[in-house]
Amino acid sequence: MYAALMTGMDDEGAFDAGRQSMLTAHVLTQGLSGLYVGGSSGESGLLEVDELAAQQEVVRRDAEGSGATLIAHVGAPSLAGSLQLARQAERLGYHGLSALPPHSYPFSDGEILAYYKALASSTALPLIVYEVPIRTGRPLPLELLVAILDLPGVAGIKFTSTDLFKLTLLRRARPDRTYFFGFDEIFLSGAALGADGGIGTTYNLLGRLYMALHGAIAAGDLPRAQELQAVSAEFVEALLEVGVLPGMKSAFTALGMDCGPTRAPLAARMPDTDVRMAELLKRPTIAPWLGAST
């Protein structure tokens, strides 16, 4: 279970190493398996390659000795940018890579396969590919995903799609790969169909909740798993009303950890976002899950 780590920004929206360290330190206290660094939850689509590279360095330094597994998301708009980030992550000692498929243009299936082939062969690190139609604007065909999973160096997939039948078919076609599920609010559904773990945005705040959910699933305790998943769904429902990343940053501020604004043009959808998120964190269903693991 991995937090899709958010990014600390200064008040003007530039990458802030100090705020990143504060944010990373908090997430590391929650008992998660590790961190997924530089992904969509970290506003990677709005950051430059050099900023993502700087974030990699800061997080790697701050996670030293924590025992956390670090996965670097390296999906940049160009293959050259992705390779730069991948090779640096390997030099820094990251444990794995991940990447969105290229989506700046309507790339062909062959171009997407070639991208992943080049990326997977660029380092010795295992690569987690990424199916996320909500971000790319198109679901990748099952046949293409299987072909990508067959590439040397590809270890698995982060599956952030509600097409659970496709997840079932992938698991049947390539049962030896690792499957991460990316929709926090329905993680139980993905796990029931064989997802090995999860990677999500709300894990930054509610990591303890997701570890408990994972434990309940492993123990076969369906009522407890349903109860915990309902807490996640309640939180995400409120978050969607204000905007996921602005709402998450507002929630951190309410907890006394100002990790800065989201980068423009990303902005909160509601003028009272700070009030809404502060009240959400006080709910008796949510409040017990905030803070460090014990």
SS3 69: strand
Of 120, 121, 116, 124, the C-alpha closest to 140 is: 116
**Quick check: helix, strand or coil at residue 238?**
helix
User: Roughly how many angstroms between the first and final C-alpha of the chain, as a whole number?
Assistant: 17
**CA distances for 30 relative to 2, 35, 175, angstroms:** 10, 11, 30
The half-sphere exposure of 141 on its side-chain side, counting CA atoms within 13 A, is: 9
Indicate if the pLDDT at residue 23 is higher than 90.
Answer: yes
**What is the structure's pLDDT at 294?**
64
Contact call for residues 36 and 5 (beta carbons, < 8 A): yes
Task: Name the helix (H) or strand (E) containing 158.
Answer: strand 154-159
CA-CA distance, 239 to 64, in Å (whole number)?
A: 31
Chain segment 42-92, per-residue pLDDT in tens: 999 999 999 999 999 999 999 999 999 999 999 999 999 999 999 999 999
Catalytic positions, please? 130, 158
Reduced to 3 states (helix: H, G, I; strand: E, B; else coil), residue 49 is: helix
Q: pLDDT band for position 291 (50/70/90)?
A: confident
Give the tokens for residue 167. Answer: 């997840």
Query: Could you tell me the domains of the chain?
Result: 2-221 (3.20.20.70)
pLDDT digits (tens, 9 = 90+) for 219-240: 999 999 999 999 999 999 999 9
More confident residue, 291 or 111: 111
Burial 207-240 (b: 16+ CB within 10 A, else e): bbbbbbbbebbeeeeeeebeebbebbeebbebbe
Q: What angle do CA 93, 136, 1 make, to 5 degrees?
A: 45
Confidence grade of residue 198 (pLDDT, cut at 50, 70, 90):
very high
Rounded (5°) CA angle 206-176-88: 60
Bridge partners for 28 per DSSP: none
Position 19 confidence tier, pLDDT thresholds 50, 70, 90: very high
Beta pairing class for 154-159 and 197-200: unpaired
- Arithmetic mean of pLDDT, 111-118: 98
- pTM of full prediction above 0.85: yes
What was the pLDDT predicted at 112?
98
Instruction: Give pLDDT tens digits for 120-177.
Output: 999 999 999 999 999 999 999 999 999 999 999 999 999 999 999 999 999 999 999 9
